[in-house]
Amino acid sequence: MEGNRQVVLATETYGSGESWEYVAQDGAMERRRDGRDGASGGGNYVIGVFKSVFLPQGYPESVSADYMQYQFWDTVQAFASSLSGTLATQASLRGVGVGNQEATVAAATITWLLRDGTGMLGRILFAWRKGTKLDSEAKMWRLFADVLNDFAMFMEIVAPHFPASFTLIVCTAGIFKSIVGVAGGATRAALTVHQARRDNMADISAKDGSQETLVNLAGLLISLVLIPLVTDNPALTLSLFFLFTALHLFANYKAVRSVVMETFNEARLSIVLQQYLRDGRVLSPADANRQEPVFLDFRRTASIKYGVRLRDVAQSQEELQLALKNNSKPYLLGLKNGCVSVCLAPQVSVCDQLRAASQAISLRSLLQLSPAEESDAPKKLLTLKSPCPWEMVCNSHSLMDRMFEAFLKGVESAGWQTHRTLLDWDEWRVQWKSKTN
- Binning the chain into helix, strand and coil, the percentages to the nearest 5 are 60, 10, 30
What is the pLDDT, as a whole number, of residue 38?
Answer: 43
What is the structure's pLDDT at 306?
94
- Compute the average pLDDT of residues 15-41: 70
At residue 394, the pLDDT reads: 95
Q: What is the pLDDT of residues 386-395, one digit of tens each?
A: 999 999 999 9
Report the percent of the chain where pLDDT is more than 90: 59
**Is residue 425 over pLDDT 60?**
yes
pLDDT, averaged across the chain: 87
User: What pLDDT sits at residue 159?
Assistant: 86
- In this predicted structure, the answer to whether residue 39 has a pLDDT above a threshold of 50 is no
More confident residue, 37 or 339: 339
pLDDT at 422 over 50: yes
Nearby residues of 437 by Cβ (< 8 Å), 6 or more positions away: none
What would the mean pLDDT of 85-112 be, rounded to a whole number? 67
Q: Provide the CATH topology of domain 67-258.
A: Growth Hormone; Chain: A; (1.20.1250)
At residue 64, the 3 state secondary structure works out as coil
Confidence of residue 19 (pLDDT cuts 50, 70, 90): confident
Higher local confidence (pLDDT), 118 or 100: 118
Residue 1 pLDDT > 50 = no
User: Which range has highest mean pLDDT (17-21, 125-129, 246-250)?
Assistant: 246-250
For residues 310 and 314, give the distance between their C-alpha atoms in angstroms, rounded to a whole number.
6
Give the mean model confidence (pLDDT) for residues 368-377.
Answer: 83
- Of these ranges, 6-15, 26-35, 233-242, the one predicted with the greatest mean pLDDT is 233-242
The average pLDDT across 11-29 equals 78
pLDDT recorded at residue 148: 94
| Alpha carbon distance, N-terminus to C-terminus of the chain | 97
| b/e 287-301 (16+ beta carbons within 10 angstroms → b) | ebbeebebeeeeeee
**What pLDDT does 42 receive?**
56
- CA distances (Å), origin 352, targets 303, 328, 329, 359: 20, 11, 7, 10
**How do residues 56-91 score in pLDDT, each as one tens digit?**
998 888 999 999 999 999 999 999 999 998 888 877
Question: Is 357's pLDDT higher than 80?
Answer: yes
Please spell the DSSP secondary structure of 91-160, one letter per residue: HHHHHTTTT-TT--HHHHHHHHHHHHHHHHHHHHHHHHHHTTHHHHTHHHHHHHHHHHHHHHHHHHHHGG
pLDDT of 163 reads 83
Strand 339-344 with 331-336, pairing? antiparallel
pLDDT at 243 over 90: yes
Residue 342: φ, ψ to 5°: -120, 125
- Estimate to the nearest angstrom the gap between the alpha carbon of 208 and the chain centroid: 16
**Residue 418 vs residue 374, higher pLDDT:** 418
| Comparison of pLDDT for 350 and 91, the residue scoring more | 350
| Mean pLDDT computed over 340-349 | 95
**Given this model, what pLDDT does residue 428 score?**
94
Long-range contacts of 33-40 (CB under 8 A, 24+ apart): none
Residue 37 has pLDDT above 50, yes or no: no
Q: Phi first, then psi: what are they for 423, rounded to 5°?
A: -75, 145
- For residues 242-254, average pLDDT: 95
Q: Average pLDDT in the 409-428 region?
A: 94
Contact 99, 90 (CB under 8 A): no
pLDDT number for residue 30: 82
Q: How many CB atoms lie within 10 A of CB 434?
A: 7
- Residue extents of the structural domains in the chain: 2-39, 67-258, 266-413
> What is the percentage of the chain residues whose pLDDT exceeds 70?
90
Using one digit for the tens of pLDDT, what is the confidence trace for 282-339?
A: 999 999 999 999 997 766 667 899 999 999 999 999 999 999 998 989 999 999 888 9
| pLDDT for the residue numbered 51 | 86
The pLDDT of residue 334 is 94
Q: Write out pLDDT tens, residues 158-186.
A: 888 888 888 888 899 999 999 999 999 99
pLDDT of residue 41: 54
What pTM was computed for the model?
Answer: 0.86
Beta bridge partners of 25: 28
| Mean local confidence (pLDDT), 24-34 | 78
Which is higher by pLDDT, 11 or 74? 74
